[in-house]
Structure formats: structure tokens, C-alpha cells
Amino acid sequence: MKKHAVEILTFCILAITLQLGYDTWKEYKRVELIRKVSAATGRITVQSADSLYFVIASCFITELEGKSFIVTNAHLFFDDTICIKNPIITVRFEGGKKFSCVLEKIDQRNDLASVVPRDADTELPAPLPLGNSDEIGLLDRVMTVGMQYGIPWVASEGLIEKQSTSRWLFPSNFLPKEFSSPHYILSSLPICPGSSGSPLIDRSGTVVGINQGYIEATRTILSIPSNDMITCFTSLRLKDASNDKK
């Protein structure tokens, strides 16, 4: 009897030790992921030349076809429906790295924009890889890091409430006018104003979307799928390449 009791006790201690070790490993991986995302997420300010327009939001570094660039939402560059001319753009990253940037590409319909440092030789932090947004599932865990109410690098976690869905499924006048993208991912991320332009990250650490905002009535977060981002920026780059050849 004593032998069995000792064996059971030993097994329980081993099981608890393994569980604690696994939990510690999971927490370590979680912290490492937050650090990785934080390093590539920036605080972007957009200001008009006359200083009458000023906004603070989020952005992040990603890459496409081997080129790194900074991504954010296009609505940051619009005062109501008027595009800000020659905006003063500043991007700050963790550790105090601060860059003066220029608007590279903008797509108002998809609410996507990219900016690059004025100095072409600027070395940006490591980019976050773009993933396949079609692979995320209902209730998958996601996270983000953004500038919530101007407070930099706030991490939050949530669940996918709805995979990529057409904006036309929403009732008329339900979405704000800047929500014009064709598809959205819905999630329960607890984010606040200032998080526009922050990355939607899956458990593997890849970008599956860019957070645009939330529905006031339900606090549901709307994110533009990464597949739409890839299509949009690829199209803009091909258009530029075609124009350069003319």
C-alpha cells in the first residue's frame, strides 16, 4: 500500500512539475512574442503644415518582395474627406528610434498606407512577416501592440469572433464612413483610440491583419485581412512599376 502511495505521489509531483514547466515555457514564448511585436510596432504622428491637423496612431514594419516598409491606415492622412497635403510624418520605435518619414503609397478604399524614412539608408527594426489571413479560425487567440490613448506599446489579447467577412453584410450606415475596406476580421481585442494601424498577430507571430477601429455599439474590433494588404500593396507597386516604364 505504501509503495503504491509513494508511486502515486511521485507521479503527481512529476505531473505538477511538468505542467509548471510547460506553463513557464508558454509564458516565456508569450513574452518573447510581445517583445518581437513591440520592436516592430511604432508610434506615428501625422501633422499638417499649418499644424491645424494632428493625429497619433499606430504603425508597424513588414516586408513584401524583400522590401521593408511601414504600414498604417490611410484615414490618418485625411481631415474629413480632404487628403492632407505634404503631411509631416514622424515615426518613433521602442528605444527612442525616431524617423522623419514620407508617404509612399496610399489606398483610401482599402484604408491602407505605407510610409518610408526620408533617409533611404535608414535601417529599420526587423519586420513582422505577413501571414495568410484565410488560415485563422473562429475563436483563435490573437494579440496586438499599439498606442492606446497615446500610451505607447500597450499589449492586448483577444479571440477571433468572425473570420474574413464582407463589409456588405453589415447593416446600412452601421459602419463609420472610413470603414470602406471590402473585408474585415472581427475580434474581441480590448483596444482603444490610437490603436488604428496596429498589427493583428496570430499565435505563430505572423501578421494576419491590420487593426482599423471598432464598432462603438459592440466594441467589436475590425481588422483588414493580411491577404487584402498583400493584394493592395502588390497592386500599387505593379502600378508604379508600369508608370515608371512609360
90, containing H or E segment: strand 88-92
Q: In the numeric block, which cell numbers belong to residue 38?
A: 513591440
**Average pLDDT of span 46-65:** 91
Using pLDDT thresholds of 50, 70 and 90, give the confidence band for residue 92: very high
pLDDT at 220: 85
pTM comes to 0.82
Kindly state the average pLDDT of the residues 96-111: 90
What value, to the nearest 5°, has the Cα angle with vertex 205 and ends 190 and 133? 80
Residue 108 identity: Q
Task: Note the pLDDT tens digit of each residue in 148-174.
Answer: 887 889 999 999 998 877 765 665 555
Lowest mean pLDDT among 67-76, 178-187, 197-206: 178-187
For residue 71, what are the contacts with CB-CB under 8 A and spacing of at least 6?
59, 60, 61, 62, 112, 113, 114, 197, 210, 229
Evaluate whether 167 touches 175 at the Cβ level (below 8 Å): yes
pLDDT grade for 134, boundaries at 50, 70 and 90: very high
Contact indicator for 91, 70 with CB cutoff of 8 Å: yes
Cell numbers that stand for 27 in this block: 509564458
> Could you read off the pLDDT of 210-239 as tens digits, one per residue?
999 887 777 788 999 999 999 999 887 655
Report the C-alpha dihedral over residues 40, 45, 49, 53, rounded to 10 degrees.
Answer: 150
